[in-house]
Structure 1
Amino acid sequence: MDFSEVLKKRRSIRAFSDQPVDQATLDEILLDALESPSSSNTQPYKLAVATGETCKALGDELLLKYHKSNKIQKQPLPLKLISAITSDALPDSDFKPMLGKYPSIFQERRVSTGMGLYEVLGIERKDKKARDEQMARNFTFFDAPVAIFLFVHPGMQHTALLDAGILMQSLMLSATNKGLGTCAQGALGIWRSPIDKHFDIPKGYKLVCGLALGYPEDNKVNEYKPKKIDLNELLIPKK
């Protein structure tokens, strides 16, 4: 595809088909991503790529943790405190807190994006059960056959996160160009222990997030694309 077409066609896919991604195609996408620039070519990142039974097992384990955590949140405070101490469902993310309070303008955009998505899905704002079920789909990667977990070395401080973001963008654009879809998922950074169970993560590397990859299903949710800011909002005016 034309490069501009690739940029405009890429979007967060939230419904994947059961069509597998062959290893050769996956390798091509990963090799494309390796062309990404990084600070002084340090390349301070690692990827854990889950496919097949490993992908399914990870999805089952993460989903179980989500359901346990969700159940704890609904308990009275005394029980919640006890469960928090005894449960294995507490977040064990490397970056704490993963997400603080959104400043007002960004909270407005976040809410607008969420409302637009739920509208496409036919989920009413007050339908807590349906919203929980949709959130749970994050942890089975929206049925994608490939789940990728992104790790960075903290020794490179903020540049590691910058470089990791560039790597992810390259990966997502390459996948789009080959007819596949992706969904970058911050939620996949909440629990690290299941990934450690299946992969030998190098010492010191920290989990940032995950990414679902596969062939998009013919589903209306995959047509959803939230509004971007315009140039006037992007550019800083001169004094």
Structure 2
Amino acid sequence: MEKNMDFTDVVTKRHSVRDFKDQPVTQKDLTELIKLAQRAPSWVNSQPWKVYVATGKTLQNIKDTYVQRNSEKGNPDFPVMHRDDWSSETQINMKQWRHEIVHHFENFDEAHEKMSGASTNLYHSPAIIFLTIPKGSSLWSVFDAGSFAQTLMLASKDKGLDTIPTYTSVRFPDVIRQAMEIPDDETLVIGISIDYPKDATINTYQSKREPVENILKFKD
């Protein structure tokens, strides 16, 4: 892994990468990153997260099964809301994101092909980190898992690695549970693909953020 970056650069340069090299990260390096992520905050230090890392034949079997079941409707542990049912503010951001993606490529067909192909093949990453929380824990554990995930992704960027957290990777939880031997009393939260990025157009896109004045309010 590479040397440390300036913290501001870590935050601003972290973005979702959708096509990875076949250059596996070592177990030692992944362990170091996960150990750093353990510094994330959690309610009353509950540390509800568990971490499962799929690589090699195990991950390839997962990918093969996902390709075979690609036409099926997903059934993730967390319910999925149709985008049309989201709040109007979030829909504006999502529509802008889709518009930018299309214009990042030559045309809509290319954008659809590249984005769909990447998703179907779980972004060709040689490692996916799956996070779970206990089914019997507080809903606040979802926030804790998010803090862990963000800390992990920033720590990865700091070491020269890129990531993408995806719904796609957990849309068939039965596949992941069997492959990773995850107990039934754990909720599968998210999968995070991680590795070194390919030099590809799909990886040069970085989504915009709302002007801070649109989301910030001070009151003295």
- Residue 21 of structure 2 contacts residue 195 of structure 2 at CA under 8 Å; is this kept in 1? yes
Task: Give ranges in structure 1 of 5+ residues lacking alignment.
Answer: 70-89
Aligned length: 214
- AA aligned to 1:208 is V
Query: Alignment identity in percent?
Result: 30
Question: Equivalences for 1:86-165 in 2 at 5 Å?
Answer: 90-96=73-79, 98-100=80-82, 101-124=85-108, 127=109, 131=112, 134-165=115-146
Question: Equivalences for 1:201-216 in 2 at 5 Å?
Answer: 201-216=182-197
Question: Equivalences for 1:1-239 in 2 at 5 Å?
Answer: 1-66=5-70, 68-69=71-72, 90-96=73-79, 98-100=80-82, 101-124=85-108, 127=109, 131=112, 134-238=115-219
Q: TM-score, normalised by structure 2?
A: 0.89
Deviations along 1:215-236, whole A, 9 cap, x unmatched? 0111122221111112211212
Q: How many Å apart are 1:154 and its aligned residue?
A: 3.1
- AA aligned to 1:92 is N
SS in 2 for 1:175: helix
CA distance in 1, matches of 2:81, 2:116: 16
SS in 2 for 1:157: coil
Q: TM-score, normalised by structure 1?
A: 0.83
CA distance in 2, matches of 1:154, 1:222: 35
CA distance in 1, matches of 2:107, 2:130: 29
Question: Going by fraction, where is helix more abundant, 1 or 2?
Answer: 1
Task: Give ranges in structure 2 of 5+ residues lacking alignment.
Answer: none
SS in 1 for 2:77: coil
Q: Considering only aligned residues, what root-mean-square deviation do their CA atoms show, in Å? A: 1.9
SS in 2 for 1:213: strand
- AA aligned to 2:47 is Q
Larger Rg: 1
CA distance in 2, matches of 1:181, 1:212: 8
Deviations along 1:161-197, whole A, 9 cap, x unmatched? 1000000001101110111100010222321011122
- Residue 50 of structure 1 contacts residue 147 of structure 1 at CA under 8 Å; is this kept in 2? yes
Q: How many Å apart are 1:56 and its aligned residue?
A: 1.1
